[in-house]
Amino acid sequence: MFKILPILLLLFFSWSSFADDGICHNADGETNVLNLSFGTVNVSAANNLAGYTVKDALTTTLSSYPVRCHCDPEHNDDGAFYEIFYIGDPAPGLVEDRVIDDQQYYILNEYLSIGVKVFIINNDYANLPFDHLSNKVTDPQHSCGPRNDGRQIYLDSGRSAKISFNLRHSVTGITSIPRTEVAWIYAGINNYYPRTTPVSKVTIMGSLIAPQNCEMTPGQTIDVDLGKMNAGDFSTTPGAVVPGKKVKTVVKVSCLGMTDVRDSEFVQASMVAVDRSPDASMIATTNPDVGIKIYDKNGSQIRVDGGMLPADMSAISRLGATDGSVTFYSTPASMTGKRPAAGEEFTADATLIIEFTN
Protein backbone atom coordinates (compact mmCIF):
# COMPACT_ATOMS: atom_id res chain seq x y z
CA MET A 1 0.00 0.00 0.00
CA PHE A 2 1.38 3.29 -1.01
CA LYS A 3 0.99 6.39 1.02
CA ILE A 4 0.99 9.69 -0.73
CA LEU A 5 2.59 12.24 1.48
CA PRO A 6 1.66 15.83 0.94
CA ILE A 7 4.64 17.98 0.15
CA LEU A 8 4.67 21.61 1.03
CA LEU A 9 6.94 23.45 -1.33
CA LEU A 10 8.05 26.71 0.16
CA LEU A 11 9.24 29.30 -2.29
CA PHE A 12 11.12 32.09 -0.67
CA PHE A 13 11.61 35.19 -2.76
CA SER A 14 12.13 38.89 -2.47
CA TRP A 15 12.88 41.75 -4.75
CA SER A 16 16.54 42.60 -4.82
CA SER A 17 17.33 45.48 -2.54
CA PHE A 18 17.65 47.73 -5.53
CA ALA A 19 14.24 46.85 -6.96
CA ASP A 20 12.02 48.94 -4.67
CA ASP A 21 14.31 51.23 -2.72
CA GLY A 22 13.94 54.40 -4.80
CA ILE A 23 17.66 54.63 -5.46
CA CYS A 24 19.01 56.35 -8.58
CA HIS A 25 22.13 54.92 -10.18
CA ASN A 26 24.30 55.88 -13.12
CA ALA A 27 22.75 54.69 -16.36
CA ASP A 28 26.08 53.66 -17.87
CA GLY A 29 27.20 51.88 -14.69
CA GLU A 30 30.03 54.31 -14.07
CA THR A 31 29.96 56.86 -11.24
CA ASN A 32 30.14 60.42 -12.54
CA VAL A 33 33.43 61.97 -11.40
CA LEU A 34 33.80 65.73 -11.07
CA ASN A 35 37.57 66.24 -11.30
CA LEU A 36 38.49 69.71 -10.09
CA SER A 37 41.98 70.93 -10.97
CA PHE A 38 42.53 74.39 -9.57
CA GLY A 39 46.16 75.05 -10.47
CA THR A 40 47.86 77.22 -7.84
CA VAL A 41 46.05 79.26 -5.20
CA ASN A 42 48.20 82.13 -3.91
CA VAL A 43 48.00 83.35 -0.32
CA SER A 44 49.81 86.57 0.57
CA ALA A 45 52.37 86.47 3.34
CA ALA A 46 50.18 88.79 5.43
CA ASN A 47 47.38 86.19 5.31
CA ASN A 48 49.64 83.17 5.77
CA LEU A 49 48.35 82.52 9.29
CA ALA A 50 46.51 79.66 10.97
CA GLY A 51 42.77 80.29 10.63
CA TYR A 52 42.88 82.24 7.36
CA THR A 53 40.20 81.09 4.90
CA VAL A 54 40.20 81.29 1.10
CA LYS A 55 36.47 81.28 0.27
CA ASP A 56 35.23 79.62 -2.92
CA ALA A 57 38.74 79.37 -4.35
CA LEU A 58 37.46 77.14 -7.12
CA THR A 59 34.19 76.69 -8.97
CA THR A 60 33.92 74.15 -11.79
CA THR A 61 30.97 72.79 -13.78
CA LEU A 62 31.04 69.70 -15.98
CA SER A 63 28.45 68.11 -18.29
CA SER A 64 25.21 66.60 -17.02
CA TYR A 65 25.18 62.82 -16.58
CA PRO A 66 22.52 60.08 -17.07
CA VAL A 67 20.88 58.07 -14.27
CA ARG A 68 18.02 55.61 -13.91
CA CYS A 69 15.92 55.34 -10.74
CA HIS A 70 14.34 52.31 -9.04
CA CYS A 71 10.72 52.59 -8.03
CA ASP A 72 9.68 52.36 -4.39
CA PRO A 73 6.32 51.49 -2.75
CA GLU A 74 5.17 55.08 -3.12
CA HIS A 75 5.74 55.11 -6.88
CA ASN A 76 5.00 51.53 -7.92
CA ASP A 77 1.56 52.28 -9.36
CA ASP A 78 2.55 54.30 -12.40
CA GLY A 79 6.29 54.84 -11.80
CA ALA A 80 5.90 58.60 -12.12
CA PHE A 81 7.92 61.00 -9.97
CA TYR A 82 9.24 64.56 -10.07
CA GLU A 83 11.55 65.27 -7.15
CA ILE A 84 14.99 63.79 -6.66
CA PHE A 85 16.56 63.81 -3.20
CA TYR A 86 20.31 64.14 -2.76
CA ILE A 87 22.73 63.07 -0.05
CA GLY A 88 26.17 64.70 0.16
CA ASP A 89 28.85 63.04 2.28
CA PRO A 90 32.55 63.71 2.76
CA ALA A 91 34.63 61.11 0.96
CA PRO A 92 35.66 58.18 3.16
CA GLY A 93 38.71 59.05 5.24
CA LEU A 94 38.04 62.78 5.58
CA VAL A 95 37.82 63.91 9.20
CA GLU A 96 35.80 66.86 10.47
CA ASP A 97 37.91 69.84 11.49
CA ARG A 98 35.85 72.93 12.27
CA VAL A 99 32.75 74.89 11.24
CA ILE A 100 33.34 78.30 9.65
CA ASP A 101 30.41 80.54 8.64
CA ASP A 102 28.03 77.57 8.95
CA GLN A 103 30.19 75.46 6.64
CA GLN A 104 31.83 72.24 7.80
CA TYR A 105 35.54 71.92 6.97
CA TYR A 106 37.42 68.63 6.72
CA ILE A 107 41.12 67.94 7.30
CA LEU A 108 42.91 67.55 3.99
CA ASN A 109 46.50 67.49 5.21
CA GLU A 110 48.73 68.97 7.90
CA TYR A 111 48.30 72.48 6.54
CA LEU A 112 44.82 72.64 5.02
CA SER A 113 41.18 71.93 5.69
CA ILE A 114 38.58 72.15 2.95
CA GLY A 115 34.92 73.10 2.74
CA VAL A 116 32.88 71.69 -0.15
CA LYS A 117 29.69 73.07 -1.71
CA VAL A 118 27.82 71.00 -4.31
CA PHE A 119 25.31 72.44 -6.74
CA ILE A 120 21.74 71.16 -6.24
CA ILE A 121 19.00 72.58 -8.48
CA ASN A 122 16.72 74.98 -6.59
CA ASN A 123 19.13 74.90 -3.63
CA ASP A 124 22.06 76.75 -5.21
CA TYR A 125 25.31 75.37 -3.70
CA ALA A 126 24.66 73.19 -0.65
CA ASN A 127 27.30 72.87 2.07
CA LEU A 128 28.58 69.35 2.67
CA PRO A 129 27.22 67.35 4.42
CA PHE A 130 23.53 67.33 3.45
CA ASP A 131 20.96 64.57 3.81
CA HIS A 132 18.06 63.78 1.43
CA LEU A 133 17.96 67.34 0.11
CA SER A 134 15.14 67.76 -2.43
CA ASN A 135 15.67 69.52 -5.73
CA LYS A 136 12.00 70.66 -5.44
CA VAL A 137 11.33 69.91 -9.10
CA THR A 138 7.66 69.83 -10.17
CA ASP A 139 8.29 69.44 -13.89
CA PRO A 140 9.08 67.45 -15.98
CA GLN A 141 7.67 64.11 -14.92
CA HIS A 142 10.13 61.20 -14.73
CA SER A 143 9.57 57.44 -14.72
CA CYS A 144 11.15 54.91 -12.39
CA GLY A 145 11.22 51.18 -12.96
CA PRO A 146 12.00 47.85 -11.31
CA ARG A 147 15.61 46.83 -11.17
CA ASN A 148 17.42 48.91 -13.81
CA ASP A 149 14.46 49.62 -16.06
CA GLY A 150 13.74 53.23 -15.10
CA ARG A 151 13.74 55.82 -17.84
CA GLN A 152 17.06 57.61 -18.33
CA ILE A 153 17.30 61.07 -16.74
CA TYR A 154 20.09 63.61 -17.16
CA LEU A 155 21.09 65.23 -13.87
CA ASP A 156 22.49 68.73 -13.45
CA SER A 157 22.81 68.45 -9.67
CA GLY A 158 26.12 67.09 -8.43
CA ARG A 159 28.03 68.20 -11.51
CA SER A 160 29.34 71.46 -10.09
CA ALA A 161 31.18 72.24 -6.86
CA LYS A 162 32.89 75.07 -4.98
CA ILE A 163 35.96 74.50 -2.82
CA SER A 164 37.17 76.68 0.07
CA PHE A 165 40.42 76.31 2.02
CA ASN A 166 41.24 77.03 5.65
CA LEU A 167 44.84 77.21 6.83
CA ARG A 168 45.43 74.91 9.80
CA HIS A 169 49.04 76.19 9.95
CA SER A 170 50.94 78.72 7.90
CA VAL A 171 52.25 77.26 4.66
CA THR A 172 55.97 77.15 4.01
CA GLY A 173 56.46 77.56 0.27
CA ILE A 174 54.22 75.32 -1.83
CA THR A 175 51.79 72.68 -0.55
CA SER A 176 50.81 70.24 -3.32
CA ILE A 177 47.46 68.42 -3.25
CA PRO A 178 47.43 65.19 -5.27
CA ARG A 179 44.20 63.96 -6.85
CA THR A 180 41.98 63.41 -3.79
CA GLU A 181 38.33 62.43 -3.39
CA VAL A 182 36.50 64.95 -1.20
CA ALA A 183 32.76 64.26 -1.68
CA TRP A 184 30.32 61.46 -2.56
CA ILE A 185 26.85 62.35 -3.85
CA TYR A 186 23.86 59.97 -3.78
CA ALA A 187 20.44 60.37 -5.45
CA GLY A 188 17.00 58.82 -4.98
CA ILE A 189 13.28 59.49 -5.38
CA ASN A 190 12.32 59.53 -1.69
CA ASN A 191 13.62 61.07 1.51
CA TYR A 192 14.60 57.78 3.16
CA TYR A 193 16.49 55.74 0.54
CA PRO A 194 19.74 54.13 1.83
CA ARG A 195 23.27 54.96 0.75
CA THR A 196 24.55 52.44 -1.80
CA THR A 197 26.63 53.58 -4.76
CA PRO A 198 27.17 57.32 -5.29
CA VAL A 199 26.01 58.84 -8.56
CA SER A 200 28.78 61.45 -8.42
CA LYS A 201 32.17 61.88 -6.78
CA VAL A 202 34.12 65.12 -6.41
CA THR A 203 37.93 65.08 -6.57
CA ILE A 204 40.41 67.94 -6.32
CA MET A 205 44.03 68.48 -7.34
CA GLY A 206 46.30 71.50 -7.27
CA SER A 207 48.63 73.44 -5.02
CA LEU A 208 48.66 76.33 -2.61
CA ILE A 209 51.57 78.72 -2.35
CA ALA A 210 52.12 81.17 0.50
CA PRO A 211 55.70 82.43 0.46
CA GLN A 212 57.24 84.06 3.47
CA ASN A 213 57.61 87.80 3.07
CA CYS A 214 60.25 90.14 4.42
CA GLU A 215 60.50 93.85 3.83
CA MET A 216 63.30 96.34 4.43
CA THR A 217 62.21 99.95 5.03
CA PRO A 218 59.29 99.35 2.61
CA GLY A 219 58.88 102.00 -0.07
CA GLN A 220 62.03 103.88 0.91
CA THR A 221 65.50 104.33 -0.51
CA ILE A 222 68.42 103.58 1.80
CA ASP A 223 70.78 106.57 1.62
CA VAL A 224 74.35 106.26 2.87
CA ASP A 225 76.12 109.61 3.29
CA LEU A 226 79.89 109.24 3.38
CA GLY A 227 80.33 112.95 4.15
CA LYS A 228 83.28 115.05 3.05
CA MET A 229 86.80 113.74 2.65
CA ASN A 230 90.13 115.08 1.39
CA ALA A 231 91.40 113.97 -1.99
CA GLY A 232 94.76 113.57 -0.33
CA ASP A 233 93.33 110.86 1.96
CA PHE A 234 93.06 108.50 -1.00
CA SER A 235 95.96 106.13 -1.43
CA THR A 236 97.86 105.66 -4.65
CA THR A 237 97.47 101.90 -4.11
CA PRO A 238 94.38 100.51 -5.90
CA GLY A 239 91.93 98.99 -3.38
CA ALA A 240 93.31 100.80 -0.33
CA VAL A 241 90.63 102.37 1.87
CA VAL A 242 90.45 105.88 3.20
CA PRO A 243 91.57 105.52 6.84
CA GLY A 244 89.09 106.36 9.60
CA LYS A 245 86.17 106.64 7.18
CA LYS A 246 83.72 103.82 7.87
CA VAL A 247 80.00 104.65 7.93
CA LYS A 248 77.57 102.34 9.74
CA THR A 249 74.10 101.66 8.29
CA VAL A 250 71.32 99.73 10.07
CA VAL A 251 68.39 98.61 7.91
CA LYS A 252 65.19 97.47 9.62
CA VAL A 253 63.69 94.16 8.48
CA SER A 254 60.13 92.86 9.11
CA CYS A 255 58.98 89.35 8.16
CA LEU A 256 55.54 87.69 8.11
CA GLY A 257 54.24 84.16 7.52
CA MET A 258 56.91 82.39 9.55
CA THR A 259 54.72 80.38 11.95
CA ASP A 260 56.24 77.03 11.02
CA VAL A 261 59.83 78.29 10.84
CA ARG A 262 61.57 77.44 14.08
CA ASP A 263 64.96 79.15 13.57
CA SER A 264 65.10 82.95 13.57
CA GLU A 265 68.56 82.80 11.96
CA PHE A 266 67.05 82.01 8.58
CA VAL A 267 67.21 85.61 7.26
CA GLN A 268 70.21 87.29 5.73
CA ALA A 269 70.75 89.90 3.03
CA SER A 270 72.95 90.13 -0.03
CA MET A 271 74.56 93.19 -1.58
CA VAL A 272 74.56 93.59 -5.39
CA ALA A 273 76.16 96.69 -6.90
CA VAL A 274 74.78 98.19 -10.10
CA ASP A 275 78.39 98.77 -11.23
CA ARG A 276 81.44 97.27 -9.55
CA SER A 277 85.15 96.69 -9.81
CA PRO A 278 86.28 93.72 -11.94
CA ASP A 279 86.97 91.63 -8.81
CA ALA A 280 83.64 92.65 -7.21
CA SER A 281 85.48 93.99 -4.16
CA MET A 282 84.11 97.54 -4.58
CA ILE A 283 81.01 99.35 -5.71
CA ALA A 284 81.89 101.62 -8.63
CA THR A 285 80.89 105.28 -8.26
CA THR A 286 80.30 108.12 -10.70
CA ASN A 287 83.94 109.08 -10.07
CA PRO A 288 86.09 106.49 -11.83
CA ASP A 289 88.87 106.86 -9.23
CA VAL A 290 86.61 106.19 -6.22
CA GLY A 291 85.13 102.89 -5.09
CA ILE A 292 83.20 101.79 -1.99
CA LYS A 293 83.95 98.69 0.04
CA ILE A 294 81.27 97.00 2.15
CA TYR A 295 81.81 95.19 5.46
CA ASP A 296 79.37 93.10 7.50
CA LYS A 297 78.52 93.67 11.17
CA ASN A 298 81.57 91.64 12.20
CA GLY A 299 83.94 93.74 10.13
CA SER A 300 84.48 91.18 7.36
CA GLN A 301 84.60 92.57 3.84
CA ILE A 302 81.97 91.16 1.48
CA ARG A 303 81.77 90.94 -2.28
CA VAL A 304 79.34 93.32 -3.94
CA ASP A 305 78.06 90.80 -6.46
CA GLY A 306 75.87 88.92 -3.97
CA GLY A 307 77.97 88.79 -0.82
CA MET A 308 75.96 87.87 2.26
CA LEU A 309 75.16 90.12 5.22
CA PRO A 310 73.77 88.37 8.33
CA ALA A 311 70.63 89.72 9.98
CA ASP A 312 69.78 90.06 13.66
CA MET A 313 66.18 88.85 14.02
CA SER A 314 63.87 88.57 17.02
CA ALA A 315 62.20 85.31 18.05
CA ILE A 316 59.32 84.35 15.75
CA SER A 317 55.98 85.24 17.32
CA ARG A 318 52.97 82.95 17.62
CA LEU A 319 51.48 84.77 14.61
CA GLY A 320 54.57 84.14 12.49
CA ALA A 321 56.10 87.62 12.63
CA THR A 322 59.68 88.56 13.33
CA ASP A 323 61.51 91.89 13.24
CA GLY A 324 65.17 92.70 13.11
CA SER A 325 67.89 94.50 11.23
CA VAL A 326 70.79 94.15 8.83
CA THR A 327 73.97 96.08 9.64
CA PHE A 328 76.75 96.96 7.21
CA TYR A 329 79.64 99.42 6.96
CA SER A 330 80.65 101.47 3.91
CA THR A 331 84.19 102.71 3.32
CA PRO A 332 85.52 104.76 0.36
CA ALA A 333 88.57 103.33 -1.34
CA SER A 334 90.87 103.99 -4.24
CA MET A 335 89.59 102.37 -7.41
CA THR A 336 92.51 103.15 -9.72
CA GLY A 337 95.37 104.37 -7.48
CA LYS A 338 94.85 107.87 -8.85
CA ARG A 339 93.72 110.50 -6.36
CA PRO A 340 90.30 111.98 -7.28
CA ALA A 341 90.11 115.61 -8.33
CA ALA A 342 89.21 117.97 -5.51
CA GLY A 343 85.69 119.41 -5.26
CA GLU A 344 83.95 116.59 -7.14
CA GLU A 345 80.96 114.70 -5.71
CA PHE A 346 80.23 111.08 -6.45
CA THR A 347 77.29 108.71 -6.10
CA ALA A 348 76.81 104.95 -6.39
CA ASP A 349 73.92 102.51 -6.47
CA ALA A 350 73.54 99.02 -5.02
CA THR A 351 70.65 96.72 -4.15
CA LEU A 352 70.15 95.01 -0.81
CA ILE A 353 68.25 91.73 -1.26
CA ILE A 354 66.65 89.59 1.45
CA GLU A 355 67.76 85.96 1.35
CA PHE A 356 66.29 82.87 3.10
CA THR A 357 68.91 80.38 4.20
CA ASN A 358 66.70 77.36 4.95
Taking only the tens place, the pLDDT of each residue in 70-124 is 999 888 878 899 999 999 999 999 999 999 999 999 999 888 999 999 999 888 8
Report how far residue 320's alpha carbon sits from residue 262's, in angstroms, rounded to the nearest whole number.
10
Q: Please report the pLDDT score of residue 329 as a whole number.
A: 96
Taking only the tens place, the pLDDT of each residue in 290-314 is 999 999 999 999 999 999 998 888 8
The answer on 148 and 75 residing in a single domain is yes
Higher pLDDT, 222 or 85: 85
Domain boundary among 144, 175, 210: 210
Going by pLDDT thresholds of 50, 70 and 90, the confidence category of residue 255 is: confident
In this structure, the answer to whether residues 325 and 302 fall within a common structural domain is yes
User: Has residue 1 been placed in a domain?
Assistant: no
The range of the structural domain enclosing residue 251 comes to: 213-356
- How far is residue 100's CA from residue 48's CA, in Å, rounded to a whole number? 17
Chain Cα centroid distance, residue 134: 34
Short-list 214, 244, 190, 184, CA closest to 314: 214
Q: Mean of the pLDDT values across residues 257-274?
A: 73
- 328, part of any domain: yes
Cβ-Cβ contacts under 8 Å for 236 (sequence gap 6 or more): 334, 337, 338, 339
**18 within some domain:** no
Q: How far is CA 221 from CA 138, 251, 256, 296, in A?
A: 68, 11, 21, 20
